[in-house]
Amino acid sequence: MSASPSPLAPARAPSLARLLLQTAQAVQAVRAGRSLTEWLAQCPGELRPGVQALSFTVLRRLGAAQALRRRLAPRNPPPAVDNLLLCALALLWPEDAPAYAPHTVVNQAVAAVRERAAPSSAFVNAVLRRFLREQQALLAELRQDPVALYNHPSWWVDMLRRDWGELAPALLAANNERAPMTLRVNRLGPASEPTAGHDRRADYQARLAAQGLPSQAPPLPLLDQALVLDHPVPVQELPDFASGAASVQDAAAQLAAPLLIGGPGTPWPMLPAGARVLDACAAPGGKTAHLQELAGNRLDLLALDADEKRLQRVRENLARLRLDAQVRAADAGDTAAWWDGRPFDAILLDAPCSASGIVRRHPDVRWLRRDSDIAALARTQARLLDALWLLLKPGGRLVYATCSVFKDEGEHQTDAFLQRHADAKRLELPGCTGHLLPLADNGPSSVPALDGFYYALLHKA
């Protein structure tokens, strides 16, 4: 009789075949219109990290994988088989340091399909081995197909070409890179104590280094709380994360709060203590918390979001950082349903958008969006801008933000708003307002590239 495993023995890693079965389901869900984040929440916990990593890889190569499958097997196989094939073809895509050897991918894909659709195992084996034999010729063919070449829908490619011309290929390539992990060091400290000029970022950077987690500090003055880790880690490994020493937030997103609060690094005065501020689309709460961190937790801050479930994240973030805000579920554009008639000194509108600037963090976005979504989102953004502008005091400021690189959701949206409102003036801060592109030479810092964002600071005359 074999001995039972020791309870102290390390858990055995799941096989690639098992991970492929779950990854194929995730890819099938995305192709059917479901968010990958939502699907991963139901994935078994012991499989989730591996499935997420594989899903990101497959979705970053999905255009090429679909084109390959059509060439290698013109007749559509059953969905379960098709999505397993797509996953395997994406993992077989040539790269400098592949995670798995080609023979391992083929063998494990065949093992996976035997479990899900055994009669198709010989078919899957034949398709994958044919790809390995004819790889060079097949890859040459794909260079003529924009969807396969860039791994984005054709309408997305066309829109980037229209908006950004010769920068479009670089933007498409950037979307297939891994995003850096960026922290925002809490300037109030874990216990919300006054810092008296103490450099908490430098202290926290030293603590990270002591734990073998080197980081870089972006040089832009408005990013004086940001640290970019050389390598991402689970938040549980960050010093005092649970007690509020830091938050995870991309550097581009960290520009919203200082643009609205004003003061050092900006040409406009800092909002006074007690200023009445609205965060109109607050979930998941990173920018809400940042506003109070910058203001010493002294703003009269209202955080709205239309999704009550997502507001729980806002409350959790505020509680972890020991910050205060009134949190309420409401459609910000339906002001009659929630506004008490008191105007705001400042408003942050981080509007619903295509998320085209954060595709490297959410590789499913490109496959979930449709070209008609952009016009619909632009209408929503315009409705929110017009409604909230009426709630702003004369002399007040509104920051309009989207995590998008499409001009219809940024520059064109703001231009149209200024045409409609004679009392609005756009204030500029080079490197911080306008379109920020996720390219190393287009953001305020070259180490590393920021997420794609758009910011407009609007002053009410």
Q: Are strands 215-216 and 226-229 parallel, antiparallel or unpaired?
A: antiparallel
Does 403 participate in catalysis according to the annotation? yes
Of 60, 46, 61, nearest to 13 by C-alpha is: 46
Please tell me whether residue 334 adopts helix, strand or coil conformation: coil
Tell me the C-alpha distance between 179 and 438, whole Å: 10
User: For 400, what's the count of Cα atoms within 13 Å in the CB-facing half-sphere?
Assistant: 32
Q: What is the DSSP letter of 450?
A: P
CA atoms within a 13 Å half-sphere pointing along the CA-CB vector of 143:
5
Tell me, letter by letter, the H, E, C secondary structure of 257-298.
Answer: HHHHHCCCCCCCCCCCCCCEEEECCCCCCHHHHHHHHHCCCC
Return the axis-axis angle of helices 48-60 and 62-72, rounded to nearest 10°. Answer: 70
Instruction: Write down how long the chain is.
Output: 461
The SS3 call for residue 425 is strand
Which residue among the candidates 43, 87, 403, 432 is catalytic per the annotation?
A: 403
DSSP structure class, residue 12: P
Give catalytic residue positions. Answer: 403
